[in-house]
Amino acid sequence: MIVVTGGAGFIGSAVVWKLNLSGRNDIIIVDELGSESKWKNLNGLSFEDFYHKEDFINYIISDSVPFETEAIIHLGACSSTTEKDADYLMDNNVHYSQELAKYALENDARFIYASSAATYGDGSKGYDDDESRLEELRPLNMYGYSKHLFDLWVKRNGLLDKIVGLKYFNVYGPNEYHKGDMRSVVHKAYQQIMSEGKVKLFKSYHPEYKDGEQKRDFVYVKDAVDMTLFFLENRHKNGIYNIGTGKAETWIELVTAIFKALGKPVNIEFIDMPENIRDKYQYFTQANLKKIRSVGYKNEIMNVEEGVKDYVQNYLMKKEYLAL
């Protein structure tokens, strides 16, 4: 079985979709559905069974998982960059991951986990997935710190040559609809355009960046999934890798692509950024992809215009999910 934690979530359900397309349905979903609409991400996908995340970790700890595990793709986490409960993040994002990693290694199962570009903090140390410099990084929020702590635990325990950590940059695309405030700007902007005819973007509070010219590495979920599954197919490729496009683009370029996909004129209003996030805001992110390219990942990666066009025209406008 291939276990996908967070399998009902955004990237997790997209991984299941891509596995299905490749002919795999021997998949176990581990997640917590709650009362939101996340369950809709599973509607139209094929998998063997679903386990609540608490039930599954109990099976892991008691060494009583009722199936043979080929791989664990660990994408489940609290991904809110504004989460304030540090103890919850430690349990959910760090300790849970440690137990899964230990189980996978003890049972010769492939272990691939989600780290985050949030571990890079303000970017002053660069965006190179250089494991020798992990200790230099200073995340700006507790979410990023929780991901960084697990990366450090992996390194400290000599596991970098046995498992794979993936630092996802700004992922957008279908199946993110349930994420509330943590949805991508593409989804939020689409809704604003459809209801108001304009997009609201945060003003810049950094002298080096004009309003709307803050830059991020926006990566389409289909590409993020393709890079993720490259490591399932290549078990001997291990370590920590960036998952992005390798090209930072501005917020203005991003929303312009949305207007273009909709055939509408560009209309942007700049608004004040909430004070509580101003000192934690990343003004620039750009994945260095030399490492993932060096281990054999050859596929072309969509730019913002290409990814946004597919997302808007084939999913948002049609109200579609990733499904078979």
d(CA 7, CA 142): 23
- pLDDT tens profile 239-259: 999 999 999 999 999 999 999
pTM: 0.95
Which residue in the list 102, 125, 179, 247 is annotated as catalytic? 179
Average of per-residue pLDDT across 126-137: 97
Whether 143 sits among the annotated catalytic residues: the reply is: yes
Question: In this predicted structure, what is the pLDDT of residue 90?
Answer: 85
Is residue 87 pLDDT above 90, yes or no? no
- pLDDT tens profile 30-44: 999 987 899 999 999
Binding residues: 10-11, 31-32, 38, 53, 75-79, 92, 147, 170-171, 179, 181, 188, 202-205, 216, 281
Segments of 193-237 assigned E as strands:
199-202, 215-216, 218-220
Binding residues for NADP(+): 10-11, 31-32, 38, 53, 75-79, 92, 147, 171, 179
- pLDDT band at 92, cuts 50/70/90? confident
Question: In this predicted structure, what is the pLDDT of residue 17?
Answer: 98
Is residue 79 pLDDT above 80, yes or no? no
Whether 179 sits among the annotated catalytic residues: the reply is: yes
Distance of CA 214 to the CA centre of its chain: 20
Domains of the chain: 2-169+221-244+286-301 (3.40.50.720)
Which residue in the list 143, 172, 190, 297 is annotated as catalytic? 143
